[in-house]
Structure 1
């Protein structure tokens, strides 16, 4: 998020694009044949890009992920993201530029999301700075950054019905909450406090509080001090099964605004959603390197 709180950006690199209808329709047989660098900008002039590409578009090393025209690469102490994508309808534009993420430190935290470890959350850099330079008016800024990864060997909708996640900056670092309801009815509830040196500790969980439902009526809740009334400060991504927004709440008496996500996987499981998603997530199977 920008320091002024009016703009934000998210970038996700997928090998096996979990939200792609094309990957689902393929039977999830070859993750490398459904790759994507998803870029979304939020605020004035915001755009959404998510192109499902074939295996010819993938190149990777230990420090670099290339998917067609865009790439992520480690350069000493920072993650460099070079973007060259085209946003989906109804607002079709080229989004081109560079994002630099500078972690304060790298953590060692890994959280299995299911008892068998089929899904894992890995918060690499919960505290970071971000520098954004995108070739559009008003899209050169700096602010608060974050870098994590999720790994899985099964489809999300096979194991979960609903989850929420939130990352909130604090004076000492950042606090993250991860709550999920699994298909079998069991619950995951976890909270971590991260310091700027990369150290982490689990924390007693503050109570949940409801937020107003999203525009698509996705249920939303987050955690904060007893009596806190979380509220949305910036709407980011609003889909029939997914909400991402900037949310203000109170943690240990500190008012903070962070990024919050809610995912309704019961809705996502519906086959009726897949053709709708295909409009926003085009498939580009062929790619030729220069």
Structure 2
């Protein structure tokens, strides 16, 4: 906050209450410089950082679960194959909004139950489940914090988008020509070496278009963070855009929700456009030296 902020804020408030007074362009610019550096406005920038943090950690979790699901579906063990197939089908078939409400709640109850029964409260006589109510002992009860909510959000997003990633990876692995894998085996490579040196490197060029779409869908799913109690940029845009009166606010203004949500739209648009450019460069890099460059350039 700048030194001139208290004076300029009071000056503008007086001018807003007296129509005979005008506000110069310099005063308006100074007012906006103070308005956008208030504690509440700095919170929206921190919320944007939280969104980016969740996206950054969701990607490796989704890829890990995706690889486990794809390789599990192709497993020779029927039990593993069935479990992974059920995971992919079930998670993809459940609406995201239901899953984001169910998974964090289930994880939280499971952790509290484990702490209650196995660690802190083994001597407690009262049951953990009392009808529809939960009664963990005070030591086992989880206190909701921003960190806990972020971890639960990463897990929930990872499970949901991991199922979609599993389907993409499964298709990409099957798209690698079988003859190349046979050639590797003919040279004496083990199955793991064939997978690591031949299968995996070529899989990425087939998976990248699907991953690109999945990443954009993940970005557009971040407004669902409010379901987990996380104060994200949507929350702050709605809060800051509301009418602020001269009586209760240092920086009074009208209903600015439209402008705040337009700014959010620009933010998401720039994020998706930048992501698309990154994925386009990655696709060109992975396709270097491949016949796919000439055979399927994407032009009609």
Same fold, judged at TM 0.5 (above)? no
Higher strand share: 1
Bigger-Rg structure (1/2): 2
Taking structure 1 as the reference length, the TM-score comes to 0.21
Task: Using CA pairs under 8 Å that are at least 6 residues apart, name the structure with larger relative contact order, 1 or 2.
Answer: 2
Bigger fraction of residues in helix: 2
